[in-house]
Amino acid sequence: MKSRILLVDDEPNVLSALKRQLRGVYDVETEEDPTMALLSLNNKKPFAAVVSDYRMPKMNGIEFLREVRKRSPETTRIMLTGYADLDNAIRAVNDGHVFRFLTKPCENEVLLENLKEAVSQYDLVTGKRILLEKTLKGSVELLGEITSLIKPESGARINRVRRYVRYLAKKKGVKDFWRYDIATMLSQLGTLILPPGTLDVLLEGKKLNPEQLQMFEMHPVIAKSLVAKLPRLEAIAEMIAYQLKGFDGSGTPRDAVKGEKIPLGGRILKVALDYDLHLQNVENPKKAFDKLEKVAEVYDPELLYYLEGMLGVEARYIIKEVGLKHLYSGMILYEDVTSKQGAMLLRKSLELDKDKIDRIHMFDEKIGIKLPLLVLVSE
């Protein structure tokens, strides 16, 4: 597949000549108006490189490339101009962060060689990002799987709470949504240190003894120390550390942080995890929420308001029996998915997506599963 190149110059003849030079080597698009060129950056398929003139109407090349960097930071930027001087070259490098500064007329071999290096730079940057993302995703999934295998009750809790966290983060309008999802997936990592049965005591609505309570309060700090070692997860580690912290400053960690100074992810986890805990005890959404309201001072009031709204949405779900052919993303498992021999394959409260549906089909082909499945479906 040919790399995409964007050429921007207010002289049509120059654009035509450049396009002829690059024809057959790259997928070339041209634009005479720099403001229109910026709009083309919103295309789902990014440009590997942008080549821009300096003197253009509405904005000069340095201003244009500065905007390109904001909108498509991985795209390599090249300045090609007939008005070359040292000041412009310095400004282009410093302000537009250009990769190359070329002068007109530019020999075909020189232009092709510089574009080849520009595309290589783009491939290097994007390849490194993709590698990091895959490594990060794999690390998170591995830690989540380990948690579920060693502490199945913790894994089930993560699956239930994820929906609440997604909803609350969306209502808060967060832009880095992925951080909150990962924070939820890794929030129970520290529970691996808990003695067997500790979480069961909580889920049954009973009180922990002093020793159990001390260990339970340690689990967010332990998870934080592990997660902080992964690249780009420092902020997520802070969210996890504050999942037991009350809005009024109560709870752990026992520091002076309270109110909106608590990381938003920590505040969201606090209300979501506590609501889930009460729901497991009373098995009634309204009664579970009432328990939160009785100690409302320990929760972010705005998040409580949003959670109450979510319960109204949840009330519009109905239980439905479905076969494999009728599964679709967004359904929520109302009961565990089990094999015909009774082995648990997927836990209830899990929201289905394409990967999980494919996994259910695979289980059915390999070992057979009990049908029909009970799911929650929005009315």
Helix (H, G, I), strand (E, B) or coil at 365: helix
Quote the strand ranges of the chain, DSSP E: 4-8, 27-31, 49-52, 76-81, 100-103, 317-322, 332-333, 337-338, 344-346, 373-378
The verdict on 67 and 109 lying in the same domain is yes
| Cβ within 8 Å of residue 274, ≥6 positions away | 292, 299
Q: Is residue 144 part of a domain?
A: no
CATH code of the domain in which 346 resides: 3.90.105
Containing structural domain, residue 48: 4-127
Give the pLDDT score at 144.
Answer: 72
Q: Is 134 among the domain residues?
A: no
Residue 146 lies in a domain: no
DSSP string, 223-289: HHHHHTTSTT-HHHHHHHHTTTB-TTS-BSS-SS--GGGS-HHHHHHHHHHHHHHHHHHH--HHHHH
Same-domain pairing of 300 and 320: no
Give the predicted TM-score (pTM) of the model: 0.59
Is residue 137 in a domain? no
Whether 39 shows a pLDDT value over 60: the answer reads: yes
* CATH number of the domain where residue 21 is located: 3.40.50.2300
Q: In total, how many domains does the chain have?
A: 3
Q: Does residue 363 lie within any of the structural domains? A: yes
Instruction: For 328-359, write each residue's pLDDT tens digit.
Output: 888 888 888 888 888 888 877 778 888 889 98
Q: Is 123 found in the same domain as 78?
A: yes
**Of 42-56, 63-77, 167-181, which range is least confident?**
42-56
With cut-offs at 50, 70 and 90, classify the pLDDT of residue 239.
Answer: very high
Residues 340 and 214 grouped into a single domain: no
Taking only the tens place, the pLDDT of each residue in 117-143 is 888 888 888 877 776 667 677 767 777
Question: Which of 315, 348, 367 is the C-terminal boundary of a domain?
Answer: 315
Report which of residues 46 and 156 the model is more confident about. 46
